Amino acid sequence: STLRAEETVKVGVLHSLSGTMAISETSLRDILLFTFDEINAKGGVLGKKIEPVVVDGASNWPLFAEKAKQLLEQDKVAVTFGCWTSVSRKSVLPVFESNKGLLFYPVQYEGEEMSPNIMYTAEAVNQQATPAVDYMLEKGFKKFYLLGSDYVYPQTTNLVLLEYLLSKGVPLENIGGGFKKDESGKIISAGKYTPFGHTDYQQIVSEIKQYAAGGDTCVISTLNGDTNVPFFKEYAAAGLTAETCPVVSFSISEDEFRGLPAKQLVGQLGCWTYFQSIKSPANEKFISDFQAWLAKSDVPGIVKEGRVTCSPMVLSYDGVYLWKAAVEKAGSFEVDKVIAELEKGISFDGPGGTVTSQKNHHVTKNVYIGETKADGQFKILKSYDNVYGEPFLKGTFKPKE
């Protein structure tokens, strides 16, 4: 029996289920459908069952904007959970603003943005990149080679990291990967960049090897997606190891490891606000409930084998619960009322620990540094508790005199 419209609330899911980003984004669709079922089984939100409206952004950035328009204007969803890349988010942002909609965005990004119509459950740069640098400095590393995929997230993150490293007293010559300057001599790009899907890392790896010859060197990697496979293959072939020159990656989570040769990456480091290996009752329940849901799921084509959980999945899950709590506090699904409650600060005890919404539309959460194991899981080495999400970092770190 179809529920009558007034007994349901429509909720948008806007992710790439096809194209180059589907490998990552399909897992976010899965976790969202799981979360809606979990909430519906307990009576829904304000007595209404969540009715998901799932659309495919197809890794096509202008199409994301069309799909957002459809969700808001035709389907009239109360909220949307979606986007992975910054370019897809920037494509939908004006649509959410002009239609006064609400988007929850869950994937680590470069910051430098704060839309009144977006809640960023995503890791800001100071909840991933700068804590990772702090950890490496603490461990005695003195040289940092910056390597990334050629788009906005790595480019912006590395400019912030350049300022951050200088503020910590790391001299310019100890920041590798190269620089681009404008006419006035100001650095406008820091680090080495390769296009999406790049396969030949021979030259770059030999440069890293030379750069790391004196020891105390690490690579800070914002390489995204499948290009990590040829990079790490070349790195291993050159005789580099996690002992001689560790790589700290910001775009490889447990979910990416399903498609990577995990054994080649043992000992390499990651930094996220969640790892599947967190030992807590909330996380253990989350993992077993998700696995049980997968086993009985009838979503067409859903992958059931070898599934894992990761930070973007958990930040999607947390986002749904923060939205639900805000709706219940507001006593309304109206976007402006829901946002007002989120801006006052709402907490949820999620699988990665407590998360709290902030006035600036970002989220306070714990940060974890982990070391890769052969099974594609992370051994947690250090955690930083309740890190406040700060999107505007460019220009805030001053060089150490």
Q: Are residues 250 and 360 in the same domain?
A: no
pLDDT for the residue numbered 285:
98
Cβ-based neighbour number of residue 139 at 10 Å: 14
Q: Are residues 248 and 159 in the same domain?
A: yes
Q: Are residues 40 and 185 in the same domain?
A: no
Q: Are residues 131 and 197 in the same domain?
A: yes
Q: With cut-offs at 50, 70 and 90, classify the pLDDT of residue 226.
A: confident
Give domain status of residue 399, yes or no: no
Q: Are residues 379 and 305 in the same domain?
A: no
Q: Are residues 85 and 130 in the same domain?
A: no
Give domain status of residue 394, yes or no: no
Cβ neighbours of residue 363 closer than 8 Å, sequence gap 6 or more: 119, 120, 121, 315, 318, 322, 355, 356, 357, 389
Rounded distance between C-alpha atoms, residue 303 and residue 322, angstroms: 27
pLDDT digits (tens, 9 = 90+) for 332-345: 999 999 999 999 99
Whether residue 142 contacts residue 212, with contact meaning beta carbons closer than 8 Å, is answered with no
Q: Are residues 182 and 145 in the same domain?
A: yes
pLDDT for the residue numbered 280:
96
Whether residue 262 contacts residue 340, with contact meaning beta carbons closer than 8 Å, is answered with no
User: What number is the average pLDDT over the span 285-300?
Assistant: 97
User: What number is the average pLDDT over the span 56-62?
Assistant: 96
What CATH number does the domain containing 68 carry? 3.40.50.2300
Lowest mean per-residue pLDDT among 23-27, 181-185, 283-287, 328-332: 23-27
Residue 303 belongs to what domain range? 8-123+279-364
190-205 in b/e burial notation, b at 16+ Cβ within 10 A? bbbbbeeebeebeebb
Give domain status of residue 378, yes or no: yes
Q: Are residues 137 and 257 in the same domain?
A: yes
For the chain, what is the domain count?
Answer: 2
Q: Are residues 288 and 379 in the same domain?
A: no
Q: Are residues 69 and 136 in the same domain?
A: no
Give domain status of residue 74, yes or no: yes
Q: Are residues 203 and 70 in the same domain?
A: no
Give domain status of residue 94, yes or no: yes
Rounded distance between C-alpha atoms, residue 350 and residue 93, angstroms: 27
Give domain status of residue 304, yes or no: yes
pLDDT digits (tens, 9 = 90+) for 145-178: 999 999 999 999 999 999 999 999 999 999 999 9
Average pLDDT, the chain: 95
Give domain status of residue 307, yes or no: yes
pLDDT for the residue numbered 401:
75
Give domain status of residue 344, yes or no: yes
Which backbone phi and psi does 57 adopt, to 5 degrees? -75, -15
Q: With cut-offs at 50, 70 and 90, classify the pLDDT of residue 2.
A: low
pLDDT for the residue numbered 4:
63
Q: Are residues 140 and 238 in the same domain?
A: yes
Query: Please, which residues bridge with residue 120 across strands?
Result: 105
pLDDT digits (tens, 9 = 90+) for 107-153: 999 999 999 999 999 999 999 999 999 999 999 999 999 999 999 99
